[in-house]
Structure 1
Amino acid sequence: MQKIKWGIIGCGDVTEKKSGPAFSKIPGSELVAVMRRDAEKAADYAQRHGVPKWYADADELLNDPEINAIYIATPPDSHHEYTLKALRLGKPVYVEKPMARTAAECDEMVRVSAETGTPLFVAYYRRELPYFIKVKELIDSKAIGELRSVHITLHWPPYVEETGPDAKPRWRVDPTISGGGHFHDLASHQFDFLEYALGPVSYATGISRNQAGLYAADDVVAAAFEFESGVVGTGSWCFTGAKSQRLDQTTLLGTEGKITFSFFEKFTIHLENVDGAQTFEIPYPEHVQQPLIETIVAELLGKGACPSSGETGARANHILEWITS
């Protein structure tokens, strides 16, 4: 390919700032078309972002001969369908996370990618964010000695739209669309990065329950897991807790100290070791997916490699199913 010409299927909120503008800011890459079933919203997005073409039908975008790569930013219930169509057309795919609703859907996406020889990438962009690269550097440099355990805590109150007599929960808590609930949506990021930093998870188990009854999906999860390296971990996720107890914290304990960081809400990394305490402030870039998209463009142009493939992306779904099944 001389230039990567992207088409986006599903130009919703995630594409407004996190990802969409990045495609035309990267050398050798251009966003040429977007699709949304609501034609008026598709046209509005194209106009606001300076995108030449828009569609209200996914198949029309997929078959546009000018487009040679596809970004799928729809909810997970259509990831599998659109990915297979694009791969069979020979068009590389960058798909949002979670990669699909189930591990089985992910595995078929990986299989078709291999069969067609068409690359598949997943939007686990923390693998390329400077904040998380720093966490990985601290682990790799033995800043806390030998790592012994990992402890994840993510406790959030309900979203406003999930409560009250007129509650209309978001699609993220409808398992028929998302594959699960907030755990499925958010813990996928956490386990993907932890596998990137620490190696494969070999075992995971847990308890998942719907305690508050605000929606169909589970709202509280507790887990225990182990990495192939022997490092062990625990996790606690609750999405119907008190506002005063809101907490997003992951702690890595080693033989010579600990690292504490946030997956979603803060830009601070705390390191405590034999040399004392240090704090690293590393904000996210303007478009958080841009560093990862840059590696995808580089790979498609034969100039590099992306760290988030279909194979690595599917792993998160498998771990989530081990914990919740």
Structure 2
Amino acid sequence: MIKKIGVLTSGGDAPGMNAAISAVVKSAISKGIEPYVVREGYKGLINKWIEKVDLSFASDIIARGGTVIGSARFPEFKEESVRKVAVENLKEMGIEALVVIGGDGSYQGAEKLTNLGINCIGLPGTIDNDIVSSDYTIGFDTALNTVVRSIDQIRDTMQSHSRCCVVEIMGNGCGDLTLYGSIATGAEVFSTKESFLTEDQICEQVTMLAKAGRRSVIVAVAEQLYDSHALAKKIEKASGYVTRATVLGHIQRGGSPTAMDRYLAINAGIFAVEKLVEGKGGLYIGMSENKLVARDINSTLNMPKPDKTEEYEKTKKINLSI
């Protein structure tokens, strides 16, 4: 029976991470295991920023956004010599297992620590929903609701003045926030890495809507595909709509987690502790067909991305109809 479990958050923060931390701490205590938090991700393992926490700590953080124990990018962790320092620090404190909350990069670190003798379990924490081995990730639902609320509010003012707005949405190479947000808000035109439109194609579609008398148009685009403000000027010149651009930015990463994100985070945290108690490591906890599953981390990193072409095409057809 293990006596001490640690938990850390790595990579970009996501709403629901604190709920997952809380679940790991509470679940560990319920099983007679001492819980520890590692501050600032993998960097904290090297610097021994590790501290014991209690039920009071866990109870106060569930509703908070971000991650109260901090997160940091730490590319040096790719070096085996650096990882060995982390393992030595954990063993010195008697911590036998670790829950890592983050994305694919975080899982790679967790797998390598498992190979060095510290059993690790990964939980999917990212707003981008870009971990293909899980249907949904912790933080995605909250971020999506922020996107939908923002587009709805932008629509109000565009409708009032018969205008067009380019809305840039986060995603880091995965278009799920843009796709789902467009479905939920009826964005007339949308473009992601998976279903890319050239600037000329966007202008053509908006111009068609203008000629049809559409009072307002939302153009939802995934980040890093265009210069959104330059695209807005190009759309205005082509279509005649007064066109503005709004970059939603980091408001998508913050905020109190939704009930669904808390539900996923808490159940995944409990499940992770159960697996560690069983003596298992090198696993990733994901959501598949509405059930939690534990898979080998290495296999999850190589799973093919689901094809959502049909979903894109159906949504474009109804949103762009005139």
Q: Do the structures match in fold with TM over 0.5?
A: no
Which structure shows the higher helix fraction? 2
Instruction: Answer 1 or 2: higher relative contact order, Cα 8 Å, separation at least 6.
Output: 2
TM-score relative to the length of structure 2: 0.39
Which structure shows the higher strand fraction? 1
